[in-house]
Amino acid sequence: MTIDTTPEAELPETGVPVAETAATLIGTGGEWWRSAVIYQIYPRSFADSDGDGIGDLPGITSRLTALSELGVDAVWLSPFMTSPQHDAGYDVADYCDVDPLFGTLADFDLMLARAHELGIRVIVDLVPNHTSWDHKWFQEALAAPEGSPERDRYMFRDGLGPNGDEMPNNWESVFGGPMWERTTRPDGTPGQWYLHIFDKSQPDLNWENPWVRERFHDILRFWLDRGVDGFRVDVAHGLIKEEGLPDYTPPADAGSMGGGATAGDSLVGLEPGIDAHASDDPPTPPYWAQEGVHEIYRGWHAVLEEYEGDRVLCAEAWVEPLTKLARWVRPDEMQQAFNFTYLSAGWSAPELRAVIDNSIYAFGTVGAPSTWVLSNHDVVRHASRLALGAENLQGAGIGPKSPGLPDPVVGLRRARAATAVMLALPGSAYIYQGEELGLPEVIDLPDSARQDPTWFRTNGEKYGRDGCRVPIPWAAGTPTYGFGPATSTSSWLPQPTDWDDLARASQEGVESSTLELYKRALALRSQNDLGTGELSWLEGYGPEVIAFRVGSVTVIANLGATPVELPVEPHLGDVLLSSEPLTEAALPTDTTVWLRA
Ligand code: GLC
């Protein structure tokens, strides 16, 4: 089928054919990361070479060809450094070594070399906000007297009240419960308290201390010397706390990682660049998005510049509005920041359009590309999230008793359509392992299997993030779907029993599969230079549709409940890609098409 997408045909009734937008602001420095598709590997759940039920570096190396065939430009690896694993590796005890669970530094070097051989760049995760309580810096701090230089590496404070029994302030941990833990002196009496934004096993570093800053420059150089292409920076909005650590109570509907409670809907109807939160946003929490973080990243930028080639820093910063987040990617700071406003947008055409417009505008004002992301290891997978019937705050997860559980068929259909929009957008896109297989969130994990600290710290009130972290299926018919060796029978989180059809090998070469949709989209994105293109909106398809053009490709997505008529003209346009089969000259509900313009 071919469809006429000439401006006349697009505009049955009103409007200007092509609306120019802030898209023209997108930076064009030519660096690879501006348009890269970056695949997130969650090492525990990617491929297990030794059969202990946990993925590892040799497992990753053995599976890299699958990612090369998928067509990604780079991989980002969640932490594989030495760690007691109280937060799945985001509690680092040695930044410059590999945890034996995942292998050795030699295994890392082999993995890196193999990736580079395949033309895949490698980004590693850096966790600077906190260390593990097993880190020798923290152990030294605990052993040292109050007020010592060792203690000054972390956020130790005296308690309030006559005996110091009360916490230094009222802050609540992202994972639930208080943000403070009391220490015990060598003589057994209660001592000072230390701050931990996350679990008590993750004490926050004191980033006002130059010693801490210098150590992280060393850590950056350690990995850059080994040849990594960049870093994903964990909690990049948390390092500096407001002076005096004043009490703070977030609004009940605020996301636990910061940012506004709302996503794209608050942007609808606004001109790009308007600060939707200017008047009604709660004050900046004293532990998020403090001005002082920027100086740190300017220092890191300079460290990266000591190295040849284009290296990248990508901020995990839950900051809204987008115009504020753009400060993380000013020319002398980081290169990218995850666009969580985009991730949090609802399944609504006006919302999606507003977020896309505002993103390109906001990042464009500082010469940075926008990133686009729909899933990661901290949020409900988008094949489930986009069909949720109830609000779900980041990190809360879903489980058997959650309200508004998603219809998996609707979820997958929307996920495919959403991905087909995302992969056409100019800028850099992040894919989370398993989304290319259409994996849903695993909702019915047994309580006894759950491992996320959120689950424990909220006494099961929040399910947490385990449901998006279940090991991915490679092949049908084996106990771990090829995640582990043939002899292995289990994985660290149990896999559902009905994943045979979702396994990579089952989808390979099957035209209608989600895997083939991703492959086709990535190949077309690259052939048509969509990542570096300019976006212009197409009008006239109605309120439930977004339609835009990037380079020579027209993208039309129907987010509404009824099919949308498309004018058909056999010789004028080719369907390059469709997230669902097209049988007539109408775009079905929850479907995206790419057409040759
Ligand atoms: C980031 C990570 C998350 C982790 C937290 C604490 O948000 O993505 O998985 O739990 O930081 O390090």
Summarised one tens digit per residue, pLDDT across range 415-470 is 999 999 999 999 999 999 999 999 999 999 999 999 999 999 999 999 999 999 99
pLDDT of residue 283: 74
Tell me how far apart the alpha carbons of residues 128 and 313 are, in angstroms, rounded to a whole number: 13
**What is the pLDDT at residue 270?**
72
- Residue 198 Cβ inside 6 Å of ligand 1? The answer reads yes
- Per-residue pLDDT for 20 more than 50? no
Test site for ligand 1: of 41, 77, 87, 377, most ligand atoms within 8 A of the Cβ = 87
532 exposed, middle or buried (CB, 10 Å; 0-12, 13-18, 19+)?
middle
Sketch the domain layout of the chain as residue ranges: 24-131+210-514, 136-195
Nearest-CA residue for atom 6 of ligand 1: 90
What's the gap in Å between 23 CA and the centre of ligand 1? 31
Q: How far, in Å, CA of 369 to CA of 427, rounded?
A: 5
CA dist 470 to 23, 261, 280, 462, Å?
37, 28, 39, 17
81 and 30 Cβ atoms separated by less than 8 Å: no
pLDDT at 374: 98
Distance (Å) from CA 569 to ligand 1 centroid? 50
Quick: pLDDT tens for 76-134.
999 999 999 999 999 999 999 999 999 999 999 999 999 999 999 999 999 999 999 99
User: How far, in Å, are 194, 453, 460, 491 from residue 88 at the CA level?
Assistant: 21, 9, 18, 14
Is the distance from the beta carbon of residue 90 to the nearest atom of ligand 1 less than 6 Å? yes
Q: Name the token pair of 449.
A: 């299997």
pLDDT of 10 strictly over 60: no
CA atoms of 5 and 596, how far apart (whole Å)? 8
Q: Does pLDDT of 489 surpass 60?
A: yes
Q: Which residue is closest in CA terms to ligand 1's atom 7? A: 235
Centre of ligand 1 to C-alpha 450, Å, is: 16
Query: What's 499's DSSP letter?
Result: -
Q: Is the CB of 174 under 6 A from ligand 1?
A: no
3-state SS string over 25-89? HCCCCCCHHHCCEEEEECHHHCCCCCCCCCCCHHHHHHHHHHHHHHCCCEEEECCCEECCCCCCC
Whether 420 and 352 have beta carbons less than 8 Å apart is answered as: no
Which one is the CATH code of 136-195: 3.40.50.720, 3.40.30.10, 3.40.630.10, 3.90.400.10?
A: 3.90.400.10
CA proximity to 407, closest of 265, 590, 586: 590
Among 378, 379, 432, name the best residue to mutate to test ligand 1's pocket (greatest count of ligand atoms within 8 A of Cβ). Answer: 378
249-281: b or e for each residue (b if 16 or more CB lie within 10 Å)?
Answer: eeeeebbbbbbbbbbbbbbbeeebbebbbeeeb
| Residue 485 binned pLDDT confidence (cut-offs 50, 70, 90) | very high
Is residue 378 lining ligand 1, measured as CB closer than 6 Å?
yes
Separation in Å, CA 583 to CA 2, 10, 553, 596 = 11, 20, 21, 18
Is 532 within 8 Å of 33 (Cβ atoms)? no
Tell me what pLDDT residue 574 has: 85
State the pLDDT confidence band at 190, using cuts at 50, 70 and 90. Answer: very high
DSSP state of 472: P
Cα of 279 to ligand 1 centre, how many Å? 30
State how far the Cα of 539 lies from the Cα of 7, in Å rounded to an integer: 9
**Of 235, 377, 432, best ligand 1 pocket probe by most atoms within 8 Å of the beta carbon:** 235
- pLDDT of amino acid 329: 98
Task: Verify whether ligand 1 is closer than 6 Å to residue 481 (CB atom).
Answer: no
pLDDT tens, position by position, 200-258: 999 999 999 999 999 999 999 999 999 999 999 999 999 999 999 999 998 887 877 87
Residue 543 has pLDDT above 60, yes or no: yes
196 pLDDT above the threshold of 70: yes
- The atom of ligand 1 lying closest to the CA of 175 is 10
pLDDT at 21: 37
Which residue bears the tokens 């051989």? 117
What confidence tens digit (pLDDT) does each residue in 382-405 have? Answer: 999 999 999 988 899 999 999 999
Round to whole Å and give the CA distance between 124 and 228.
Answer: 7
Q: Higher model confidence: residue 224 or residue 570? A: 224
Please give the pLDDT value at position 583: 80
77 lines ligand 1 (CB under 6 A): no
Rounded distance from Cα 117 to ligand 1 centre (Å): 30
Q: Using CB atoms within 10 A of its CB, is residue 109 exposed (0-12), middle (13-18) or buried (19+)?
A: middle
Rounded to whole angstroms, the Cα distance separating 130 from 127 reads 7
Mean pLDDT over each residue of the chain, to the nearest integer:
92
Beta strands 37-41 and 428-432, pairing class? parallel
Residue 488 pLDDT exceeds 50:
yes
pTM: 0.94
The C-alpha atoms of residue 239 and residue 152 are separated, in whole angstroms, by: 14
Q: What is the pLDDT of residues 401-419, one digit of tens each?
A: 999 999 999 999 999 999 9
Q: How far is CA 450 from the centre of its chain?
A: 21
Cα gap 472→232, rounded to integer Å: 22
87: Cβ below 6 Å to ligand 1?
Answer: yes
Its CATH class, for the domain covering 24-131+210-514, is alpha beta
448 alpha carbon – ligand 1 mean position (Å): 22
Is any ligand 1 atom within 6 A of the Cβ of residue 235?
A: yes
State residue 264's pLDDT score.
Answer: 63
CA distances from 528 to 5, 28, 157, 550 (A): 17, 16, 56, 9
- Please tell me the predicted confidence (pLDDT) of residue 56: 98
The whole-number pLDDT of residue 277 equals 53
Spacing, Cα 299 to ligand 1 middle (Å): 23
pLDDT of residue 26: 42
Residue of 234, 340, 377, 466 with the most ligand 1 atoms within 8 Å of its CB, for mutation = 234
For residue 187, the one-letter residue type is D
- 280-304 pLDDT per residue, tens: 555 789 999 999 999 999 999 999 9
Ligand 1 atom closest to the Cα of residue 127 is 12
User: pLDDT tens across 28-75, in order?
Assistant: 568 999 999 999 999 999 999 999 999 999 999 999 999 999 999 999
Distance 235 CA to ligand 1 centre (A): 7
Given a contact cutoff of 8 angstroms between Cβ atoms, the answer to whether 423 and 522 are in contact is yes
279 has pLDDT over 60: no
Report CA dihedral (242, 243, 246, 252) to the nearest 10 degrees. Answer: 0
Residue 24: CB atoms within 10 A of its CB come to 12
Catalytic residues: 234, 306
Closest residue to atom 2 of ligand 1, CA basis: 234
